[in-house]
Amino acid sequence: MSLSSASSFPSPGSAAMQANANWPAVGALAFGLFGLVTTELLPIGLIPPMAADLGVSEGAAGQAITATAIVAATTGPILVLFSGRLDRQKVVWMLGLCFLIAALLCVFATTLPLLLAARALLGVALGGTWAMAIALAMRLVPEGSVSRALAVIFTGVSIANVIAAPLGSWLSDILSWRAAFAMSAAFALIALTGQVATMPKLPAATPPSLASFRIALRKPAVLIGLATAFFVLCGNTAGISFLRPFLEGGAQINVTTVSLVLLTFGVAGFFGNLLGGALSARSPALAAGCGALAIAGATAALASQGQLLAVVFVATAVWGIGFGAFPVAISSWNAQAAPDQAESAGALLSTSFQLAIAGGGVLGGLMIERLSETAPIYTAGVAALVGAAVVLLIGRPSERRRTSHQVQRS
């Protein structure tokens, strides 16, 4: 979900940028997004202890991920469309305050409804910040420094993807699951303090219109990308959200080893990000398809041979590489699909990501409740296969035709 936005915001020349780079503000923005993504993903490593403490099933506890994703899916586009008159400095501060309050509410939640309400508030902060972060970074530095500013943002998100699940699992093991959210509250306080201290006044640029969204949705390539993203990420969320219950229950792995497995997934995902970027430069469709196939193969091996520890680590690493590569690849596809409506197409893709995460959390919860710990893992594989078929069998031929046409024109 995390690298989907690079192409979804204005080009550097479309908004007034500073003559001098404001790197402290970029850093504060990047740290805030790092904290938000870390907090979004924490429940992946916390579902069993959260469920036990709150007195609910693991499937119900898994909806903590769903609540955040549903709200984030709607908050981002709404903010892009309707916050044009607000100074972005104040918007960033308000979203940072929402993050802090949400994290504190998670720490003190004593029932599942209270936890879900806190996670919904987190979705407001996440969706709004993610919708604005790249465009803000482009306005905080001169045009020649934009790539470096974006690299700072994406590095923070990549680190969050690596540490969130294993760190949450480790903290819940030595302290409690509430300690993990207390850490998030500390992240939120640091980020908000930095943003208040460094963020300059940023008069709003004009957001995209509803007409631009309609034009983007009429493009077949955009629809192919949205469908592929939804299938792959919905299935992936169903599987990864309930990976810890599978490892502890189905594979009979202890908590310490579970943390190592989740760390393996995160580290592999970081390298998958790099690989996805390199492959996407040649063919976004092929890169997205290969990432989806890697997820399908790895989850099939994990579900069928998960009793072997070596298979668990290897399959999880391959899964992480595939998942790390996929968002970068599908974002590159999205950028090429609608270059004239980059903001709108990017907002649509971001919404597709969050809806897929929400749907995956619900689907995985139903699977583990009604079938077994293995069912969500198989679900991830089947959904990834469907997504791979869409982008490789439908998207790849259209990509070849588009490339051939561009070569002929040049």
Q: What is the model's pLDDT at position 343? A: 60
d(CA 111, CA 61): 10
Using 50, 70 and 90 to split pLDDT, how confident is the model at 15? very low
Helices (H), 242-341: 243-245, 255-280, 284-305, 309-337
pLDDT in tens, 143-175: 666 656 665 776 677 677 667 777 887 888 788
Q: What is the model's pLDDT at position 191? A: 93
Could you confirm whether domain 209-398 is CATH 1.20.1250.20?
yes
Q: What is the model's pLDDT at position 3? A: 39
Q: What is the model's pLDDT at position 151? A: 58
Both tokens assigned to 364: 């995985």
pTM above 0.75, yes or no: no
Q: Of 316, 240, 325, nearest to 291 (Cα)?
A: 325
Q: What is the model's pLDDT at position 249? A: 72
Both tokens assigned to 49: 């202890």
d(CA 80, CA 7): 15
Q: Are 224 and 104 in contact (CB under 8 A)?
A: no
Q: What is the model's pLDDT at position 11? A: 43
d(CA 342, CA 212): 9
The contacts of residue 238 (CB under 8 Å, 6+ apart) are: 360, 361, 363, 364, 367, 376, 379, 380, 383
Q: How far is CA 28 from CA 7, 103, 251, in A?
A: 22, 18, 41
Q: What is the model's pLDDT at position 126? A: 86
Using 50, 70 and 90 to split pLDDT, how confident is the model at 352? confident
**pLDDT beyond 50 at 192:** yes
**pLDDT beyond 70 at 287:** yes
- Domain(s) labelled CATH 1.20.1250.20 in the chain stretch across 1-10+18-207, 209-398
Q: Give the number of residues written for the chain.
A: 410
Both tokens assigned to 244: 């810890």
Q: What is the mean pLDDT of residues 318-343?
A: 76
pLDDT in tens, 354-388: 788 778 877 887 877 777 778 888 888 899 999 99
Q: What is the mean pLDDT of the chain?
A: 78
Using 50, 70 and 90 to split pLDDT, how confident is the model at 12? very low
**pLDDT beyond 80 at 223:** yes
Angle between helix 88-108 and 112-140 (nearest 10): 150
The helix (H) or strand (E) run that includes residue 131 is helix 112-140
Angle between helix 220-241 and 342-370 (nearest 10): 30
Q: What is the mean pLDDT of residues 56-70?
A: 78
Q: Are 347 and 72 in contact (CB under 8 A)?
A: no
Question: What single-letter amino acid sits at 73?
Answer: A
Q: What is the mean pLDDT of residues 62-71?
A: 78
Using 50, 70 and 90 to split pLDDT, how confident is the model at 183? very high
Q: What is the mean pLDDT of residues 56-84?
A: 76
The helix (H) or strand (E) run that includes residue 193 is helix 177-198
What is the CATH class of 1-10+18-207?
A: mainly alpha
d(CA 216, CA 140): 28
d(CA 291, CA 404): 24
Both tokens assigned to 260: 């190592």
Q: What is the model's pLDDT at position 98? A: 92
Both tokens assigned to 316: 């999880």
Reduced DSSP (H G I as helix, E B as strand, rest coil) percent helix, strand, coil of the chain, to 5: 85, 0, 15
**Backbone φ and ψ of 192, nearest 5°:** -65, -40
pLDDT in tens, 77-91: 777 677 666 777 888
